[in-house]
Structure 1
């Protein structure tokens, strides 16, 4: 079920940092503004080459949504130095893997190679940044690819539009109100000069982080980075918009219908602070307490004891400017949706009234520490987490090593106060997500 995948991704994003082995790195800037992070780990002959561009769907215009995600695809079209469609063939034929993903806040490209193919990975990413092939043929091809992806992952996927329905209420005055996949009519209407302008504005080296992690020689890698990226011209600085949204002061109730489901669901979502906030980290702890595993409060009560829910969850959908704290439940034995919401609200109210126990607090600490080991067990995870720290934590790449100490400094009293501050009925959206006949 897609909901389980969404929750897995959401929880994985929470588990950063630990007092396990520190992640060592070297970082510096090229003259064109490209920030470079190098992490040496010789435990396996593998290297990851990645580039994180600080551009996502929130940087799009209202009538041109979907551009950032579209470029996730378009920038695999090749360059003057490779034929169309050759990018991925070069990766696979040299023993590598590659992919990309786009969020509301950033786009992340990467290749994983045997370490003797480091130079190939750097060349590929420099070609993407320096002179990608952006033409009518590529735009037409990728337009059809994106449409098929939208049909598969959103339009025809069970519960595929829950975030779309929630975010349009939580973020009425913010670009988070639309999803990264965007609107197909906007992509259909866009002209080639608009795509070229979007690339020139956002895919410049001074709006990107190049992270290389794995079996590398640091000095040699610096030379290769200079060789392939020094010639990329610096772009005009990107000025991010500031948003100061008015608080939600009245419960918003909505209903959505989905022809792809047979079991209804109920969601309750709250607008919360973005990823730089300490409160955001506390909300991550609260979501783990409520639904992080089979012995969590909501699962124990609603799935095991009362048997009213097939699935219940709470997760913190963390973004740069704001976040969405979402609870949800799928009924068992035709339990009314309002009964499920009442049970979730009861557990939230208990969080507000009483301090969590010492044993629960210790369990939370252990869960976050184990999460760090999982999140950084592969070079790809290390590369992305290093880049994210620099991009989203005030250029603090070392956030990867500081997160757990921050989490361990959070008190039980803070957990109670944050629940009281944000998880209130007059500050939320309630969505009844029903089968469409």
Structure 2
């Protein structure tokens, strides 16, 4: 049933017997905390940014709601309506959301990565309180959690605080089903959506390696060479030279099992997205054949490195990244190795991964055509 993890993220803020919703919020506000949560294909995370001296408060509240959440039909039904409206806003009434969902379905036809974390509307409507309770009892346990603490705290004191609130919680054996791997894609796939857009849009995607693979380093360099900035090859060609597109963007997303690299292009009025797709594929083939120039390689590696340091610039973002590396790459220490991995990338590495992962045969594309 798609959408249950995201819906449950909402329910986690509804309070417990010891700390009802309004008390939970009041205690964190009085402590000067910021709190929120997010759900993606590999994880759900909850966070508090708060003064270091308030670590005990965070552990007290989080450990309590890990096992004592109050779940009622009234709360469940109310939050399910919130999530349904969120889907309408982010997918059904958003051309980008609709295209992203279609593209993930094409890239991952059998794997759960191809199903929306928001859930399909029919699945959200079919979710019940019993589903939520079963999900909670199955997955919300210290045995299935990673706790990250970053800030001006002493490690021994922090560990004692964590143990004080989590050690006594019941251990639950968490299922870890073997998920189906995707078959090797041998033929390009395309889909066309008629959408309320002024100009044509194009989204392209390729499955790539898992986050633990050393290929993530040259692949992110490839992404920067092609789509990352206004100095990238595809941006310069489509926006500046040919003047057929107004925007070129994308995403680089290594995951626990496989991952994906995306290109996102908005065409100028009257321009054909199919021609832009051919430019992207030809540019990829050039990169796979000849590799980047020395200047391109240096610039792309510098951009990846700068992006990395921006992603860990604050205490909160550092904690987020440590948790993400632990859950997707299997080891938080990989975060500290990333820059060295990028710096070691050479021209031949770029040529190899471009020719291995980003071929015509492995291409998935969604066209958004103006029409409604």
TM-score of the superposed pair, with normalisation by structure 1: 0.81
| Structure 1 gaps, min length 5 | 1-63
CA contact (8 A) 1:265 1:434 kept: yes
Number of the residue aligned with 1:229: 166
| Deviation string, structure 1 residues 393-420 (Cα, Å, up to 9, x no partner) | 23x2211111111222222101101111
| Structure 2 gaps, min length 5 | none
**Residue in structure 2 matching 1:308, options 215, 221, 244:** 244
CA contact (8 A) 1:298 1:313 kept: no
**TM-aligned CA distance change 1:302 to 1:287, over 3 Å:** same
**Residue in structure 2 matching 1:194, options 131, 137, 155:** 131
Partners in 2 of 1:268 and 1:376 — Cα distance?
28
Instruction: Figure out how many residues of one structure are paired with residues of the other and give that number.
Output: 372
How far has the Cα of 1:85 moved from its partner?
4.2
State whether structure 2 residue 155 is matched by structure 1 residue 218: yes
Number of the residue aligned with 2:329: 393
CA contact (8 A) 1:317 1:323 kept: yes
Partners in 2 of 1:315 and 1:226 — Cα distance?
38
**Residue in structure 2 matching 1:404, options 326, 339, 346:** 339
Partners in 2 of 1:279 and 1:224 — Cα distance?
39
Partners in 2 of 1:257 and 1:319 — Cα distance?
30
State whether structure 2 residue 272 is matched by structure 1 residue 339: no
Q: Which runs of 4+ in 1 moved over 4 A?
A: none
Partners in 1 of 2:328 and 2:95 — Cα distance?
32
**TM-aligned CA distance change 1:335 to 1:190, over 3 Å:** closer
CA contact (8 A) 2:188 2:361 kept: yes
Number of the residue aligned with 1:428: 363
State whether structure 2 residue 47 is matched by structure 1 residue 110: yes
CA contact (8 A) 2:33 2:48 kept: yes
Q: CA RMSD in A?
A: 1.7
Number of the residue aligned with 1:36: none
| Deviation string, structure 1 residues 107-159 (Cα, Å, up to 9, x no partner) | 01001112232221111111121211122122112112111211222222242
Kindly indicate which of the two structures has a greater share of residues assigned to helix.
2
Partners in 2 of 1:318 and 1:88 — Cα distance?
34
Kindly indicate which of the two structures has a greater share of residues assigned to strand.
1
**Residue in structure 2 matching 1:297, options 213, 221, 233:** 233
**Residue in structure 2 matching 1:413, options 343, 348, 351:** 348
TM-score of the superposed pair, with normalisation by structure 2: 0.95
CA contact (8 A) 1:243 1:321 kept: no
Q: How does 1:155-174 map to 2 (within 5 A)?
A: 155-174=92-111
